[in-house]
Chain A
C-alpha cells in the first residue's frame, strides 16, 4: 500500500492558462474523489468516480473543470482558463467497497494562479 499519490505537489500558473493534475489512487480502490480546500476551510467535494464512471459533479465545478478516470485507474483533473479564484489545494481521495466511506487522501496539489 503506497497510498494515494498526487502530482504535481505545487503548480504556479498565470491567469488564463490551462492546468492538469494527476491522482493515482490506492490500487484496489474502486472509488475516487476530488476535493478542493482553501486556507482555513475544510475540503469541499468536487466530483466522484466509481471505477471509470463519473457519478456526481458538485455545483462548484464550473464547465472550466473536467475530470476523467480512464480504465478506472488514475484520474486527471483539468482546469481550463484558470482564474485567481481557482487558487486552492486540490485533494484526491480513494476508498474501497460499496458502503465504506473511509477515505484515504493524497497530499494534494497546491495551485496558485497569478
Chain B
C-alpha cells in the first residue's frame, strides 16, 4: 500500500524566514508526485507535478524537488499570504488516483 508521510505537521514562520517541508513516500512504481495548497474551507489547489528524481519546479517563492524517496517544498522569504496547508500526493504507475499525505500547515507571521 502506498504511504505518504509529511513533516512537520505544523510550521510557524516569521515573514522572510525561509524553510522546507518534507514529503517521504513509499510507492511501487511512482508515476508522479504532486504538491497542492489548501486554504481553510477550500479544495486543494494544484502547485507542481514532479516525475523523476532530480527534477525541480519553481513558482514564485516555492520550489519543489524530488529524490527517489522524498520530496521537499522550499519556501523562500515567505509572506503571510503563503499561510496554508501544503499537501503532497503520489500516483502509482498504471493508476490514476492520488494518495495524499496529511499535510503541513504553514503559518507566516508578519
Contacts and interface: CB of A to CB of B under 8 A. Distances in A.
**Interface SS of chain B:** strand
B58 interface: no
B87 A42 contact: yes
Size class of the contact patch on chain B: 20 to 34
Nearest to B100: A42
Size class of the contact patch on chain A: 20 to 34
Contact of A48 (B34, B36, B96, B99): B96
A107 B96 contact: no
Interface stretch (B11-19, B41-49, B64-72): B41-49
B99 A45 contact: yes
29 contacts: A40-B102, A40-B103, A41-B102, A42-B4, A42-B102, A43-B44, A44-B100, A45-B97, A45-B98, A91-B43, A93-B43, A101-B31, A101-B32, A101-B49, A101-B91, A101-B96, A102-B34, A102-B46, A103-B44, A104-B46, A105-B36, A105-B44, A105-B45, A107-B41, A107-B42, A108-B41, A108-B42, A108-B43, A110-B41
